[in-house]
Amino acid sequence: MATALIAVTLTFIVFLTQSLRFLEIVVNAGNAGSIFWTLTFLALPRFFEVIFPLSIMIATIFIYNKMTVDSELTVMKAVGHSPFSLAKPLILLALITSLILWAITLWVAPTALKKMQAMRQSLTSEFSSMLFREGIFNQPGSGLTVYISNRSPDGTLSGLMIHDTRDETKPPSTVLAKRGMMVTEDGENKVIVFDGSRQSYNQDSGILQLLTFERYTINLPEAGPVRKRWAEPDERTIFELLKPNMALERDRENLRNFSVEIHRRFTAPLLALVFPLIALTALLIGPIDRRGQTKRIILAVICIMLVQGLFLASYNIAKNSNIGLILMYLLTVAPIFICLFSLSEKSEHLRRNILYKAKNNSEGPST
């Protein structure tokens, strides 16, 4: 329950930070709110490999430290429970979390990220003709130039000039209007202008035509086809990473990055087991202090931060050297075995023997 509560809290914080990335583009494009929520939720899965290990680590420190202060761990040890038996519930939860993270990192997160990037590109392409900037001549399409002097927060445009030469069978026209607004009707983007005039000059007849209006509608060009983008390594599922398209030059150039990404996805979920085990080892090994274990908690947090920092560094090193790959596995596998051995009954007997021998040596030979 503690892990779930902390995970939900961290997810909500990440959700707020990620939502700011998409708020401006969705608002300016005038799209539905459902698009905003979809983009934000699709951005979340790739952060779970950081959220879940941190959540279970924080929950471990909180729960086991509280049990220490309440003397529950003292009673459990007194009736014969070893550190490993006390750690079993956490180890089981950490293993389940790692399995969930493997499913997320290998398939769910890259699929969601790829879909999010495609939606962003499609949204930008679809509404690029509507994102007019103030004080410059915008060209949403060939033969169409739009100038606006001001754009209010509610989307109202003022001081518009629209020069249209798209229809070669008709003379070019220039529309001047005091105000206007951009809308989407029947799947088409349009600019509705108010209180203005439309001027067109016929070179053959030498006649300037002038039309004043209260309301006038101008169709904007449809968005062009969305360019197919190259999928980054973190946007590909494990199957796509294992079988890149060798016909594409860019895929051939990034074979090393694909390989490193595969190793990262197999090792990163293990941090959900490494972090709580480090915290448990610091809290359960050695004498128990009922007043709290602040020093041990600080030591555990420092070790976890060190492992996380070195893992990120080794991932960057792995892009150029196999040493980074070796470090990635050492930083995830070695702490698991070290911590499990430290919590085992064999390690407990070994520590007791060492303490017993040290005590006898300090007391000296018996009389």
Instruction: Kindly report, residue by residue over 125-161, the tens digit of the pLDDT.
Output: 555 445 577 788 887 777 888 888 888 877 788 899 9
Percent with pLDDT over 90 in the chain = 43
Percent with pLDDT over 70 in the chain = 86
Cα torsion angle, 118, 123, 124, 129, sign: positive
The beta-carbon contacts of 177-180 under 8 Å, at least 24 apart in sequence, are 177/216, 180/148, 180/156
pLDDT at 168 over 70: yes
Q: What distance in Å separates the CA atoms of residue 244 and residue 251, rounded to the nearest whole number? A: 6
Q: How many alpha carbons lie under 13 Å from residue 28 in its C-beta half-sphere? A: 16
pLDDT of residue 129: 46
Band of pLDDT at residue 229, cut at 50, 70 and 90 = confident
Q: What is the mean pLDDT of the chain?
A: 85
Q: Which residue has the higher pLDDT, 312 or 69?
A: 312
31 burial type by CB count under 10 A (0-12 exposed, 13-18 middle, 19+ buried):
middle
* Positions of E strands within 203-301: 207-219
pLDDT of residue 336: 95
Backbone angles phi, psi at 315, to 5 degrees: -65, -40
What type of residue sits at position 29?
A
Choice among 7-11, 70-74, 204-208 with the minimum mean pLDDT: 204-208
pLDDT at 225 over 60: no
Backbone angles phi, psi at 207, to 5 degrees: -110, 135
Q: Which H or E element spans position 175?
A: strand 173-185
Q: Could you give the 3-state DSSP secondary structure of residue 58?
A: helix
pLDDT of residue 206: 78
pLDDT of residue 27: 61
Band of pLDDT at residue 22, cut at 50, 70 and 90 = confident
pLDDT of residue 218: 82
| Cβ 150 vs Cβ 157: under 8 Å | yes
* Whole-structure pTM value: 0.70
Backbone angles phi, psi at 56, to 5 degrees: -70, -30
Q: What distance in Å separates the CA atoms of residue 51 and residue 55, rounded to the nearest whole number? A: 6
Let me know the angle formed at the C-alpha of 292 by 88 and 295, rounded to the nearest 5 degrees: 90
Instruction: Kindly report, residue by residue over 56-109, the tens digit of the pLDDT.
Output: 999 999 999 888 888 888 888 888 888 889 999 999 999 999 999 999 999 999
Domain ranges of the chain: 2-125+229-362, 143-219
Dmax (CA) for the chain in angstroms is: 131
